[in-house]
Amino acid sequence: MPTVLAKNLAAVFRMTRTVLSKELLFRRYRLFSAGACRRLWPLLNEDGRRAVNIIEQYAGHPDKNLLSAALVAANRSHAAAVETHLLVELTGNLRTRLEALAPVLACSAVKEATNSRASVVGRVSSEASTAVGAVEVVRRLPAEPALTYNDARRSPAELAAQASLFRDIFGNPFHPVSFSPDWRTETVTALATGMYDARDFTPMPVLADALEGAGCHERKGR
């Protein structure tokens, strides 16, 4: 199942290249990668989280200095996770080894997200879903002691969540929605920016009303 989902996701990625402009496509790649990594927040150390925040900033304001800062933080994050994993790998039991492996994979996903190539999206998806897969095996160990290190595979549930995230960011390429500049009022922009920055989406109904007041009456536009 994970392989099928991953292949389907990759096929959709390829399809969007023919629909969106290169600039918009890469911005959305960045946002997807950052969103997938943000789902790994509990597995990331301080440098890893800093890198994700910078990647999101870069998606909105492309700047080579930002990208360099994200790469430095991601490399430092990954190196620290690998060091911990190597120590545990030599002396730990299966549970502790998997608990150390999950952050390595999570930090690897963040490191991949700093890459500028389009193919990075598939690698971020794979590393992130495998990190969650390792966590899932740890949770199953008490009831399934026969599980092994090799059972830490891509999580079908996480791949499904990534597919949902993808749809949120890219929409349906077969039915693109036109967003009128007139709808982007000061109130709409302030509400959307505030929700995104605070990671608090409870004001979404207020945003819907603001969009309607700006002239957006079609549900697909919202």
Alpha helices in 92-153 (DSSP H): 94-113, 120-140
Instruction: Give the whole-angstrom CA distance, residue 169 versus residue 36.
Output: 11
Whether residues 90 and 193 share a domain: the answer is no
Find the helix packing angle between 46-60 and 64-91, rounded to 10°. 150
Whether residues 156 and 196 share a domain: the answer is no
- The tokens describing 174, both together, are 């077969």
Tens digit of pLDDT at every position of the chain (222 positions): 445 545 555 566 566 655 566 677 778 888 899 999 999 999 999 999 999 999 988 887 778 888 899 999 999 999 999 999 999 988 888 999 999 999 999 999 999 998 866 667 888 999 999 999 999 999 999 999 898 888 889 999 999 999 889 888 877 666 666 778 889 899 999 998 888 878 788 989 999 999 999 888 765 544
Closest CA to 45 of 37, 36, 34, 57: 37
Whether residues 84 and 194 share a domain: the answer is no
Whether residues 82 and 47 share a domain: the answer is yes
For the chain, the domain total comes to: 2
State pTM to two decimals: 0.78
Domain that holds residue 198: 177-222
Q: How far is CA 174 from CA 6, 12, 18, 169, 171, in A?
A: 20, 11, 11, 14, 9
Q: Which of 138, 159, 175 is the last residue of a domain?
A: 175
Whether residues 43 and 113 share a domain: the answer is yes
Whether residues 117 and 198 share a domain: the answer is no
Spatial neighbors of 49 by CB under 8 A, at least 6 apart, are 41
Whether residues 215 and 202 share a domain: the answer is yes
